[in-house]
C-alpha cells in the first residue's frame, strides 16, 4: 500500500499509527502518505477509524503509538496547524457574525491580516454575501463559508469531512472546481466521505479503512479493476427470491420490478434470466463501480475474521 | 503577549462583543434585571442609613455585586457551552487558537458588560440623590467587584465546558439566584434571619459584597480577600479539570 518511491516532500505522513479508546481499537498500525496537490479519499464504514485518523492529522488527538507529521511537523504545534485548512461536517457558526467577519476572523486566527479574506470571498462567490449574517445563509452558502475559512490561509493540506453533504449537483461541481484550482497550486486534500462515487470522480487515491486498518490504498480505477463483479440491471417479473437462486448471483437490489444484480458470471446469469422471463426488458450490463469495490473489500475482510 | 496573540485576542473579543450587542435578549437578564432591581430598591429604601452608610450607596456595592456576578457567571459559561455545541470551539482548536485566548476574551467581554452595569447603577443612584461616596471610593468599589468576578467566571467556564447550552443556562441560573438572596445582595444581610447570616459566611458572593462595602468604609477586608482567594483556587481547579475532560 502506497509503496511507490516518491521523491517529493510529503504534505502528510502517518507511520504505524495505533489508537485506542478504552478497549476499542480505533486505528491499528496505519501508514499513509499524502503528497502536494494530491487528493486522497478516506472511505470505510462507520467506526472504521476515519474520524480518529483525521483528529490525529489535525492535531486534536495525540498519537498513542506511531507518528503523524504534517509538512514534517507535529500537527499539535500551532505553527504546523496554521498550514492546515479544516472543514468539518458538523460545524455551526455563531448566529451573530457575518460572512465577512467569519472569514476575516479565520485569516487572523491563521496568522494573516484580515485583508487576506477578500480574494477568497471573491473566489468562492461570497463577495455579495459578505455582510449577511449566518441565519440568513442557505446550507450551500454555509458550506462555502466554511471552505473559505479553511482556504483563507492558503493551507498546504486541506482536511475535509463530508464536505458536499447537503449540496446540490451544481454546488458540488463548483466546490470540486475550486478545489481543483487549489490542487493545481499544490494544496493536498484529505477527504472523508460516504459519497463513494463522488470520491471516485475527484480523488487520486482511495484509502479504504475498516476496523482501524487499511484494506486498500490505490487509485479508484485500480480498485474497481481488481473487482471481477458486474452489475446487471433489468426489468423483470421474477421476484427477489427467484433471482437470488439464479447462477452467479452475489446480491440483488430491487426497486419494484427494476432490479440490480451483482454477479461474477454475467453470461451465465443472462442466459438464465432470458430462459425464465421472456418479457425481460431494459437489460444493461455494467462494470462494478467504486461503491461495489469498497463493499466487496469490507465484506471480504468481514468474512476473513 | 506576542503581536499575533494580541491580534487573535482582538478578534475573539470583537466577536464576543458583537454577540452581546447583536443578541439583545441577553441584555435583559444581564443588565436590565440587575439594574431594574437596583432602581426599584433604591427608590424604596435608598435614603435609609444602615451601618453608617446610606442604603442607596451601599446598594452600589451589594446590587453591584449581583450585577457583575450575573454577567461573569452567566456569559462566559453559556458562551463556551454554545461554542462547544456548535463545534466552534473545536474549529478554534484546529485553527491553533489556544483555548485560554478564547476564554480570556469571553471573560473580558463579561467584564466590560460589568462595567456597564456598575456605571448604570452609579448613574441611577446619583440621579436619585442616594449616592454619598467619593469618586475614589466608587472607583475602588468597581475595581474590587470586577476583580472579584474571577472565581465566578472560572466556575461558569467549568460548567460550560462540561454541559450542553440549555443545561448550562439552567444550572448557572439555579446557582446564581440562591447565592444572591442568601448573601444579602438584594436585602441587606443584617435584615436577614440569623440562619441565613450563618450560611452567608460560606458563600463567595457574600464575601465579595462585603469587600465592596469595605471600600465605602464599612467593615474589614482581610477575611473576605482570603475567602475569595480560596474560592478562586477551587474554581480554577474545577475549570482545569473540566477542560481536561471536555470534548470540544
User: Over 70: is that where the pLDDT of A5 sits?
Assistant: no
Tell me the shortest Cα–Cα distance from B120 to chain A, in angstroms: 25
Query: Is A95 within 8 Å of B92 when comparing Cβ atoms?
Result: no
- A252: pLDDT confidence band, cut at 50, 70 and 90? confident
* Distance, CA of A17 to CA of B24 (rounded, Å): 48
The DSSP letter of residue A23 is: T
Q: Which of A59-78 are b and which e, b meaning 16 or more Cβ less than 10 Å from the residue's Cβ?
A: bbbebeebebbbbeeebbee
Q: Select from A82, A92, A105 the Cβ nearest to the Cβ of B96.
A: A82
Q: What is the ipTM of this complex?
A: 0.83
Place B24 in a pLDDT band, splitting at 50, 70 and 90.
confident
C-beta of residue B56 within 8 angstroms of C-beta of residue B131:
yes
- Average pLDDT of chain A, as a whole number: 88
Tally of domains in chain B: 1
Cell of B154: 472560572
pLDDT of residue A154: 92
- Confidence (pLDDT) at A2: 44
Q: Please list the residues that pair with A40 across neighbouring strands.
A: A190, A205
Beta bridge partners, A261, equal A232, A252
Chain A residues with CB under 8 Å of a chain B CB are: 58-60, 78-79, 81-82, 84, 86, 88, 90-97, 101, 104-106, 108-111, 133, 149
Domain range for B50: 3-245
Q: Would you say A260 and A249 are in contact if contact means Cβ atoms under 8 Å apart?
A: no
Scored b (16 or more CB within 10 A) or e, A102-130 reads: bbbbbbbbbbbebebbbebbebbebeebb
- B54-109: pLDDT as tens digits: 888 999 999 999 999 999 999 899 999 999 999 898 888 888 788 889 999 999 99
pLDDT at residue A165, rounded to an integer = 77
Residue B191 CB burial class (10 angstroms; 0-12, 13-18, ≥19): exposed
Regarding beta strands A281-287 and A65-70, do their DSSP bridges make them parallel or antiparallel, or are they unpaired?
Answer: unpaired
What 3-state DSSP class applies to A261?
strand
Q: Dump pLDDT digits (tens) for A57-110.
A: 999 899 999 999 999 999 999 889 888 999 887 778 898 999 999 999 999 998
Structural domains of chain A sorted by starting position, each given as residue range(s) with its CATH number in brackets: 12-221 (3.40.50.300), 228-287 (3.30.70.980)
Pick the range with the lowest mean pLDDT from B47-56, B177-186, B192-201: B47-56
Alpha-carbon distance A103 to A144, whole Å? 11
**In chain B, which residues have their Cβ closer than 8 Å to the Cβ of A92?**
85-88
The stretches of A26-168 forming alpha helices (DSSP H) are 50-57, 78-81, 99-109, 117-123, 139-151
Q: What pTM, to 2 d.p., does this model score? A: 0.81
Spatial CA neighbour of B213 closest among B183, B177, B246, B169:
B183
* Average confidence (pLDDT) over A120-131: 92
Query: What are the respective helix, strand and coil percentages of chain A, to the nearest 5?
Result: 35, 30, 35
Contact flag B7-A84 (C-beta cutoff 8 Å): no
Of chain A, the percentage scoring pLDDT greater than 70 comes to 97
Rounded to whole angstroms, how far apart are CA atoms B230 and B157?
17
Amino acid at each position: 500500500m502506497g509503496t511507490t518511491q516518491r521523491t517529493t516532500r510529503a504534505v502528510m505522513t502517518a507511520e504505524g499509527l495505533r489508537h485506542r479508546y478504552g478497549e476499542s481499537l480505533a486505528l491499528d498500525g496505519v501508514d499513509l502518505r499524502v503528497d502536494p496537490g494530491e487528493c486522497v479519499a478516506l472511505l470505510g464504514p462507520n467506526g472504521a477509524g476515519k474520524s480518529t485518523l483525521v483528529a490525529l492529522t489535525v492535531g486534536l488527538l495525540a498519537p498513542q503509538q506511531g507518528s503523524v507529521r504534517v509538512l514534517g511537523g507535529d500537527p499539535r504545534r500551532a505553527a504546523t496547524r496554521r498550514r492546515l485548512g479544516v472543514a468539518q461536517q458538523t460545524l455551526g457558526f455563531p448566529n451573530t457574525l457575518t460572512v465577512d467577519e467569519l472569514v476575516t476572523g479565520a485569516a487572523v486566527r491563521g496568522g494573516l491580516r484580515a485583508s487576506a479574506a477578500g480574494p477568497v470571498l471573491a473566489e468562492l462567490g461570497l463577495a455579495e454575501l459578505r455582510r449577511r449574517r449566518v441565519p440568513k445563509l442557505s446550507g450551500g452558502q454555509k458550506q462555502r463559508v466554511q471552505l473559505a475559512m479553511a482556504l483563507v490561509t492558503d493551507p498546504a493540506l486541506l482536511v475535509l469531512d463530508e464536505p458536499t453533504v447537503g449540496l446540490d449537483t451544481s454546488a458540488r461541481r463548483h466546490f470540486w472546481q475550486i478545489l481543483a484550482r487549489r490542487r493545481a497550486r499544490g494544496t493536498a486534500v484529505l477527504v472523508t466521505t460516504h459519497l463513494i462515487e463522488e470520491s471516485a470522480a475527484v480523488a487520486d487515491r482511495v484509502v479504504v479503512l475498516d476496523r482501524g486498518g487499511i484494506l486498500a490504498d490505490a487509485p479508484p480505477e485500480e480498485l474497481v479493476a481488481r473487482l471481477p463483479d458486474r452489475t446487471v440491471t433489468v426489468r423483470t417479473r421474477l421476484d427477489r427470491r427467484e433471482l437470488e437462486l439464479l447462477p452467479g448471483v452475489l446480491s440483488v437490489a430491487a426497486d419494484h420490478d427494476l432490479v440490480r444484480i451483482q454477479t461474477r458470471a454475467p453470461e451465465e446469469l443472462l442466459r438464465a434470466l432470458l430462459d425464465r422471463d421472456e418479457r425481460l426488458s431494459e437489460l444493461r450490463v455494467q462494470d462494478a463501480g467504486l461503491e461495489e469495490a469498497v463493499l466487496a473489500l469490507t465484506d471480504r475482510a468481514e468474512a476473513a475474521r | 503577549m506576542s503581536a499575533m496573540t494580541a491580534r487573535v485576542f482582538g478578534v475573539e473579543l470583537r466577536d464576543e462583543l458583537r454577540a452581546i450587542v447583536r443578541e439583545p435578549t441577553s441584555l435583559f437578564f444581564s443588565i436590565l434585571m440587575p439594574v431594574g432591581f437596583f432602581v426599584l430598591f433604591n427608590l424604596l429604601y435608598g435614603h435609609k442609613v444602615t451601618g453608617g452608610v446610606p442604603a442607596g450607596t451601599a446598594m452600589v456595592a451589594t446590587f453591584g455585586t449581583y450585577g457583575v456576578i450575573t454577567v461573569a457567571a452567566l456569559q462566559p459559561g453559556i458562551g463556551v457551552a454554545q461554542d462547544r455545541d456548535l463545534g466552534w470551539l473545536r474549529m478554534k482548536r484546529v485553527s491553533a487558537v489556544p483555548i485560554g485566548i478564547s476564554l480570556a476574551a469571553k471573560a473580558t467581554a463579561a467584564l466590560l458588560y460589568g462595567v456597564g452595569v456598575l456605571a448604570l447603577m452609579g448613574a441611577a443612584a446619583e440621579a436619585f440623590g442616594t449616592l454619598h461616596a467619593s469618586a475614589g471610593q466608587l472607583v475602588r468599589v468597581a475595581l474590587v467587584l470586577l476583580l472579584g468576578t474571577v472565581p465566578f467566571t472560572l466556575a461558569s467556564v467549568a460548567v460550560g465546558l462540561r454541559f450542553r447550552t440549555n443545561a448550562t443556562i439552567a444550572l448557572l441560573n439555579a446557582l446564581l439566584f440562591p447565592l444572591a438572596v442568601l448573601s444579602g445582595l438584594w436585602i441587606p444581610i443584617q435584615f436577614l434571619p440569623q440562619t441565613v447570616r450563618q450560611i452567608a459566611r460560606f458563600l463567595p458572593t457574600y464575601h465579595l459584597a462585603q469587600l465592596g462595602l469595605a471600600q465605602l468604609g464599612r467593615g474589614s477586608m482581610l477575611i473576605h480577600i482570603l475567602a475569595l482567594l480560596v474560592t478562586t483556587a477551587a474554581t480554577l481547579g474545577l475549570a482545569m479539570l473540566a477542560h481536561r475532560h471536555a470534548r470540544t
